[in-house]
Structure 1
Amino acid sequence: MRESPLLRVEDLALHYQTRRGVVRAVDGVSFDLQRNEALVILGESGCGKSSLAKLLMRVLPRNIHHTGGRITLGETELGTLSDERFRRQVQWSRMAMVMQASMNALNPVVKVGVQVAEPLRVLRGWSRARAMERAAEVFTLVGVSTDFLSRYPFELSGGMRQRAVLAMALVAEPELVILDEPTSALDVLTQASIMNALKRVKQEQDTSFILITHDVATSSELADRVALMYAGQLVETCDAGRFFTEPAHPYSRMLMASVPRLRQRQRPEPIPGHPPNLFDPPAGCRFAERCPHRFAPCGEDPETIRLGERHRVRCWLHDDSTRRGGR
């Protein structure tokens, strides 16, 4: 019998109010995450990945038009917590986040070690000495010399600053860490080094991760499962091995066909067309205009089809009644 998930997300929605209208950035997203599991959320720029992360962490801008759904962390339904209780009981202590472009998030006039230790001093009331000792432990875990604790951010390279921000997220030993494009501004060797550090943390601290990225190659290093996002919705969720070798959704297949491979002569194939406008998303399947398998039922919003124990796909091609002409 499978244990209850660490995180359960049900029918999550986040819409923004702008001068041009309402943007449906996250629209009916559901998934779960087991303990000590790494879930990679893939998708093109603008599909709602970062908005989903910010909604999970409750770090939202002021122009919110609508939010909905349920988020459960362990036995705690997060929607029942006030902002103050969420900040004290969940943020950093149970769930932390490494923001996109986080290398620029460090205070330039405060030493790195002090910034990494700060969550322990603020949330747990630890002494400076005890908090700095823990910061040194986490620096070692992420592969940074403890000598850098006494440095200022401008004295660190981009890769070192990224590791420092990761250490800050890990210092309070949260159950879940959300990583939003953590390697996007780094060179290939530094990306590999950061991913190795994440794998070591996952193994040694029993930490769960949600990695948000559009980089298929980087995501494959850490992923236990993959969730593919398109136009504010999850279109496929399954084990990483299955996704990278036998994806089920047409978008998943076309995405994998667009990735260059070292040991194959087949050239990458670009995905034609453009994602839909989230100010006015089309009725029915949002990928239909770009899909080579489009047929009549795609004019209706697809149901989420279960293909295996934890394999879900949002596509009429996998609905038996549709293939038999029932719709």
Structure 2
Amino acid sequence: MPPRADAERSLLVVEDLCLSYRTSRGPVRAVDRVSFDLRRREALVVLGESGCGKSSLAKALLRLLPRNVDQVSGQVRLAGLDLLALSEERLRVDVRWVRIALVMQASMNALNPVVRVGEQVAEPLRVHRGWSRARALERAAETFALVGVATDFLQRYPFELSGGMRQRVVLAMALVTEPDLVILDEPTSALDVLTQASIMNRLKQIKAELGTSFILITHDVATSSELADRVALMYAGQIVEVSDAAGFFREPLHPYAQRLMASVPRLHQAERPSHIPGQPPSLLSPPAGCRFAERCPRRHGRCVEEPPIFQRPGRHAVRCWLAAPGGST
């Protein structure tokens, strides 16, 4: 997606971000020319099937990368600051946990089992702000209240908390430094539906009260709709549609988005949910044309060519030949 005229109003601008891994069978392009922007006080949901590159995208934004990284390229600008051009030391000191925090997948297992949770939430303030232990613990208590955890839980160990409470503690750890952006990677996937709803409602409250921007990475359409202002749909390492949430959930344009929404059960729906046949392509050797073509009920002759991003009115973009001028979306 080309740079947009309103990019100066954005908190985060990502342009042509690529990330590939070395493997014994060759390089795997997990993130392939991904572009999007995120404004302040906005929540962007990144949707897609498992293995489409969502978690790799989250790690690429903060350069939290494993040793088998083959290539990282593109631009990631936070309020004009190019994060990929920063030294590792400056990124660690000035950006991670200070301006961008990450709640990682399976984050409930990230807590140290032999350290009280209050100390763990206070630690980013002591490391990055240089605060005293007492001041940091006082701020940790305030953040506990923000995420819906009683302050007497500060003295508890992780094993004394339920799964939902541990997830809230990890969220508090991400919020305690008041970063501009919090990236949430499948934050509710291991929780029951009532706890999921409670945490999503808490996130909406935090966004309204603190003005925090969020990137929520998930495969759960129903959960994501609670928080989303905008949606970016990933497929086989690429973003194939970016839209405002209301438009996406009501009338998606990309055939993959349409099939995905048709698979979601809804109340008062006469039709039974349908499935998407087939499997996503291997990222070791993705097809030369449209990556969804083999599974697409609307494929046609031009799908052997890779579609570019087509801009639609507003901040809407679609990677599909059907969205070209004169197409039939």
TM > 0.5 between the two? Answer: yes
Q: CA RMSD in A?
A: 1.1
Shift of 1:6: 0.1
CA distance, structure 2, for counterparts of residue 76 and residue 14 of structure 1: 20
Count of residue pairs the alignment pairs up: 323
Contact 1:169 1:177 in 2 (8 A): yes
Contact 2:62 2:83 in 1 (8 A): no
Asked if 1:306 is matched to 2:308, the reply is no
Contact 1:98 1:179 in 2 (8 A): yes
**Structure-1 residue corresponding to 2:224:** 219
Asked if 1:111 is matched to 2:143, the reply is no
Find the residue that maps to 2:241 and give its secondary structure: strand
CA distance, structure 2, for counterparts of residue 26 and residue 144 of structure 1: 36
Contact 2:63 2:84 in 1 (8 A): no
1:21-53 Cα deviation digits (max 9, x unpaired): 111100000000000000000000000000000
- Aligned pair partner of 2:192 in 168, 187, 193: 187
Find the residue that maps to 2:21 and give its secondary structure: strand
The answer for unaligned runs of 5 or more in structure 1 is none
CA distance, structure 2, for counterparts of residue 97 and residue 201 of structure 1: 16
Residue type of the alignment partner of 1:147: D
Asked if 1:150 is matched to 2:155, the reply is yes
TM-score, normalised with respect to structure 2? 0.97
Find the residue that maps to 2:10 and give its secondary structure: coil
Residue type of the alignment partner of 1:38: A
CA distance, structure 2, for counterparts of residue 291 and residue 139 of structure 1: 46
Asked if 1:121 is matched to 2:135, the reply is no
Shift of 1:80: 2.2
**Structure-2 residue corresponding to 1:141:** 146
Find the residue that maps to 2:125 and give its secondary structure: helix
Contact 1:71 1:78 in 2 (8 A): yes
CA distance, structure 1, for counterparts of residue 102 and residue 80 of structure 2: 20
1:225-278 Cα deviation digits (max 9, x unpaired): 000000000000000000000100000000000001122121000001110011
Residue type of the alignment partner of 1:286: R
Find the residue that maps to 1:18 and give its secondary structure: coil
Contact 1:297 1:322 in 2 (8 A): no
Contact 2:10 2:38 in 1 (8 A): yes
Shift of 1:322: 6.5
Asked if 1:166 is matched to 2:171, the reply is yes
The answer for unaligned runs of 5 or more in structure 2 is none
**Structure-2 residue corresponding to 1:254:** 259
Task: Report 1:64-143 matches (<5 A).
Answer: 64-143=69-148
Contact 2:13 2:78 in 1 (8 A): yes
**Structure-2 residue corresponding to 1:42:** 47
Shift of 1:81: 1.0
CA distance, structure 2, for counterparts of residue 161 and residue 57 of structure 1: 23
1:266-299 Cα deviation digits (max 9, x unpaired): 1000001110011000001000000011111111
